[in-house]
Amino acid sequence: MGILQKAFELIYVKGYQTTSIDDILATTQVTKGAFYYHFRNKDEMGIAIINELLKPGFAAAFIEPLHTEGDPVKIIYDMMYAILMKNELLKVEYGCPAANFTQEMAPWHSDFTRVLNELSQEWKNAIIHCIRKGKKAGRIRADVKSEQVAVFIMSGYWGIRNMGKLNNSRSVYLIYLKQLKDYLHTLQ
Amino acid sequence: MGILQKAFELIYVKGYQTTSIDDILATTQVTKGAFYYHFRNKDEMGIAIINELLKPGFAAAFIEPLHTEGDPVKIIYDMMYAILMKNELLKVEYGCPAANFTQEMAPWHSDFTRVLNELSQEWKNAIIHCIRKGKKAGRIRADVKSEQVAVFIMSGYWGIRNMGKLNNSRSVYLIYLKQLKDYLHTLQ
DNA sequence: ATAAATAGATACTAACCCGTATTTTTTAAC
DNA sequence: GTTAAAAAATACGGGTTAGTATCTATTTAT
């Protein structure tokens, strides 16, 4: 886990392909023998980072908030606000770790893409579930298509991460969040 | 331009970092001497690809459609539909070339980020302009914030490109487009 | 025709890459 | 205390990388 943590930090900042195993060894003070005792190769370590580090963090920040009771509009907005503005691990200049992996590995590394797709599907299902609950409670219009809304919200998130990288400033997050709030209110 | 074209095709599919100069030389049948006569180094070629190839193609598909007269809702939706569903150069499994570059290069290669930011700003300004015209013509509500909407639309685009990569299917584009249409109608 | 500038070809370097083979140290079991 | 397994250290191999040095060929200008 120590190796994975440090490796993740390097990869999050530099990218997977450009982070060499020697880089990881240098910063972790781990020798090559130890590294290859724990991981068969670099890709196995990459997959381990996603499963052991990314998934738990993702579940805490992206999934769990959606399971709380209340107004979906508020729940979804608050989740997004927390992810973009409060989360101290995710820096605006380095974007979303999951999106970085996706962009870099798809479509060539199918192992990565499959695991990342699982992440994405979990989020999607949680959003759909949250909206369906809101519809039953009369908080969301009955004609709202849950899946469409989920996909729309997710795409907005990944896109604003990209714009944040370009602008290297959270100010674009705030602009996005304002419009997200307006959009969510149209679902009521 | 021949080198740039072939190099772009390789980079679009494989990524910038993982496309070696030797790869480019092999597919272009150009020798190393010729290559380094025209470009000082790899990054200069990368910047040239963005300026000489990406920018013109971007202007044609992303900017020009926004300059036509008419209903912004229809104009913006049609533009997005054409980009996602009709453009034969942009494949769903390889995503958006500009987004790929951004994801891969930011924040370390400031030359790339700066040029890509110019692209992004041009698109943003064109969308803002389109919406402002719509407001003046009474086609868009007066209280709509043009910049917020522009950022929201752009983030949706870049995000859905990411999801398309993950799913490797245009079906997710269609789901997104439906909700985009609904969203745009709320601006009227 | 000659000189100069442009363009292209070839061979090479020095650094870096991932992964392996081999050896050494540490830990645990009996 | 001996043995065996687990864990870690080291050195190296085979291949790739971006970029350079050097040489040759082709235009262009005078």
- Could you state, in chain order, the average pLDDT of each consecutive group of 10 residues for chain A (188 residues)? 94 95 95 94 96 94 96 98 95 95 90 94 98 96 97 98 95 98 97
Mean pLDDT of B153-176: 96
Q: Which of B182, B170, B123 is nearest to B151 (CA)?
A: B123
Q: Which of B160, B182, B180, B181 is nearest to B171 (CA)?
A: B160
> C1' nearest to CA of A36: which nucleotide?
C19
pLDDT at residue B160 greater than cutoff 90:
yes
Q: Which residue of A has its CA nearest to B155?
A: A159
Q: How far apart are CA B31 and CA B154, in angstroms?
A: 40
pLDDT at residue B150 greater than cutoff 90:
yes
Q: Using the beta-carbon criterion (under 8 Å), do A145 and B178 form an inter-chain contact?
A: yes
User: Residues near A120 by Cβ (< 8 Å), separated by ≥ 6?
Assistant: A98, A154, B163, B166
- How much is the pLDDT for A98? 94
Whether the Cβ atoms of residue B176 and residue B83 lie closer than 8 Å to each other: no
- How much is the pLDDT for B106? 83
The closest CB to that of B176, out of A152, A175, A183, belongs to: A152
Helical ranges in chain A per DSSP H:
2-14, 21-28, 32-38, 42-48, 55-58, 72-81, 97-105, 110-136, 146-167, 171-185
Domain annotation covers residue A44: no
Q: Which of B58, B107, B41, B138 is nearest to A92 (CA)?
A: B107
C-alpha distances in Å from residue B83, one per residue of B53, B61, B122, B187: 16, 7, 16, 22
- Choose from A17, A131, A141, A162 for mutation: most chain B CBs within 10 A: A162
C-alpha distances in Å from residue A114, one per residue of A106, A185, B25, B169: 9, 34, 33, 14
Q: Distance from residue A114 (CA) to nucleotide D4 (C1'), in Å?
A: 40
Which nucleotides of strand C lie under 7 Å from a protein CB?
Answer: 7-12, 16-22
Q: Distance from residue A77 (CA) to nucleotide C27 (C1'), in Å?
A: 52
Domain annotation covers residue A124: yes
CB pairs under 8 A between A and B: 150
Total of domains in chain B: 1
Quick one: which H or E segment has residue B70? Answer: none
Q: Which of residues 79-98 of A touch B (CB under 8 A)?
A: 93-95
- How much is the pLDDT for A106? 84
Q: Using the beta-carbon criterion (under 8 Å), do A113 and B166 form an inter-chain contact?
A: yes
The CATH number given to whatever domain includes residue A141 is: 1.10.357.10
**Which residues in chain A are closer than 8 Å to B149, comparing Cβ atoms?**
179
Domain with B161 in it? 42-185
Whether the Cβ atoms of residue B107 and residue A93 lie closer than 8 Å to each other: yes
pLDDT-based confidence at residue B107 (cuts at 50, 70, 90): confident
Kindly determine whether the C-beta of residue B26 is less than 7 Å away from any atom of nucleic acid strand C.
no
- How much is the pLDDT for B1? 86
Q: Which of A137, A155, A134, A156 is nearest to A145 (CA)?
A: A134
Mean pLDDT of B56-64: 95
- How much is the pLDDT for B156? 98
Domain annotation covers residue A43: no
Mean pLDDT of B2-16: 94
Q: How far apart are CA B168 and CA B174, in angstroms?
A: 13
pLDDT at residue B162 greater than cutoff 90:
yes
Domain annotation covers residue B9: no
